[in-house]
Amino acid sequence: MSANTVVPVAPEHRPAWGRLYAGYAAFYKVEQTEAMRDTVWGWLMDPAHEVNGLVALGASGEPVGLAHYRPYARPLRGGYGGFLDDLFVDPAQRGQRIADTLIEAVAALGREKGWGVIRWITADDNYRGRGVYDRLATRTMWITYDKML
């Protein structure tokens, strides 16, 4: 099995997915608990929930990367897009274009669903990730704001 095999998350992926998602949170310096991961895992396992997940499988069949995505309405366009919420590849597996494969898998699903765009954000200082994103997509002029509640 190649590390470029991407499949929907499944119950047997939970332990490896949990390690990857904890790594993602640590990368962005977000305090995350097991209970928080349980909540997200519950969303991923609920076919009625808007959040979906994919994993990239390594040579041993274990997940080495993850992507979480969901649809969103685009009122100005009168259509839908996909939002790539989370993307993470095990640091030991980077350089194999696993992120490319995960992004393309989300894009393929979006094309099947008739979405007009796949959109995501990243930190300004995520230089390695931005190198991948600059190669695969168009950086926009939009600035993101958060109003904490």
| pLDDT tens readout for residues 19-67 | 999 999 999 999 999 999 999 999 999 999 999 999 999 999 999 999 9
Whether residue 74 contacts residue 59, with contact meaning beta carbons closer than 8 Å, is answered with no
User: Which runs of E-coded beta strand occur in the chain?
Assistant: 5-8, 52-57, 63-74, 79-89, 118-119
Please name which of 135, 126, 118, 141 lies closest in space to residue 24, comparing C-alpha atoms.
126
Indicate the pTM of the whole model. 0.94
Q: Hey, what domains does the chain have and what are their CATH numbers? A: 5-136 (3.40.630.30)
Task: Name the 3-class secondary structure at 108.
Answer: helix
